[in-house]
Amino acid sequence: MFKNAVDDSTLRRIINDFQKRARENFRKVAVLMGGESEEREISLKSGKAVSEALKKKGYNVTELIFPSSSLSSSSDFISEISKVDAVFVALHGKLGEDGTVQGLFEFTKINYTSPDSVVSSFFMDKAMTKLIQYLNHPKSFVVNKFDEIDFVFDKIKEFSFPVVVKPSFSGSSFGISVVSKIEEIKSALDRAFEYSSRAIIEDFLDGPEITVAVFQRKALGVMEILPKEDVIFSFDAKYRGSTEYIIPPRSVPEEACEYALYISQKICDDFLVDGAVRVDFKMKQGKVFFLELNTIPGMTERSLLPKIAKWRGIEFDDLVEAILGTASVKIYRR
């Protein structure tokens, strides 16, 4: 066991405490899923898996698929969520993961899972997270949708190819390109701008990719991700392709794993990140670089956080119930 991961007895106590809180306070639960972003398909899968787990645990579950004909207006939506004790947010991407729906829940004083609206909006924007100075960030620069292409060509001279071009405000690796020559830059930017008004161009990190699962600011473990059919952990590698998930990592030095665990907990402590989140890193020449913090990680059968939790002995249904136990109106606790 890594020294910077939570020990077994503490982890079990925390999980049990939040399961108990869920059972005592939240018998009627809405699972919010769907959305209008490119991640709708994954959100529906996450929501269905969460819903089934909570039903097995005996909760009265309402599945709220947004948008839908039954939720044709904001008043319909507020009316539905007002009938439950808590909302389990399984809404990935824009509106669900960017603080929008969390702000609505704060305004209406509805208990909800996921970090609060401030945390969510900050970590959704990859350009914003580069302001965290104590993290290792790959060399990069931000391109706005209406910047002149000559500006990009001038800045790119400071980089060696390949580079990564990605949307600043998106998830599930949508819109990401690995660019090997300058002639491909414009088309890669056009692709990124389909998902966000800003794009990031950064060094390509050719080392292992690792991710850390965190529950209530305690690191559970670290996983190595090894895509078989792509050079990055792309959307297809995440959900359709052949990817190997290795716990504990096989080709990552122990000190790198310990750093990832430590820095994940530090981020969550410093920024008041509660609930179940995932922190992603990639390496180059033995150095661990921060990629992003996922405030609403996937909860499908292929999802990474549940895999790490299971490795620590936490079954999926128990994990879901414990996450439900973290529901609250959070902004008033800041």
Per-residue confidence (pLDDT) for residue 174, from 0 to 100: 78
Residue 109: both structure tokens together: 């004083």
Query: pTM of whole model > 0.75?
Result: yes
Rounded Cα–Cα distance for residues 9 and 17 (Å): 12
Confirm whether 172 is a catalytic residue. yes
Per-residue confidence (pLDDT) for residue 237, from 0 to 100: 47
In the chain, domain spans: 9-114+322-329, 124-134+206-313, 140-203
Rounded Cα–Cα distance for residues 225 and 221 (Å): 13
Low pLDDT (below 70) residues in the chain: 68-74, 171-172, 228-241, 332-334
CATH topology of domain 140-203: Dna Ligase; domain 1 (3.30.1490)
Confirm whether 298 is a catalytic residue. yes
Is the domain spanning 9-114+322-329 CATH 3.90.1150.10? The answer is no
Closest residue by Cα to residue 163 from 149, 175, 180: 180
Question: Per the residue annotation, which of 147, 184, 292, 317 is the catalytic one?
Answer: 292
CATH superfamily entry for domain 124-134+206-313: ATP-grasp fold, B domain (3.30.470.20)
Question: Per the residue annotation, which of 51, 172, 177, 303 is the catalytic one?
Answer: 172
Rounded Cα–Cα distance for residues 293 and 268 (Å): 9
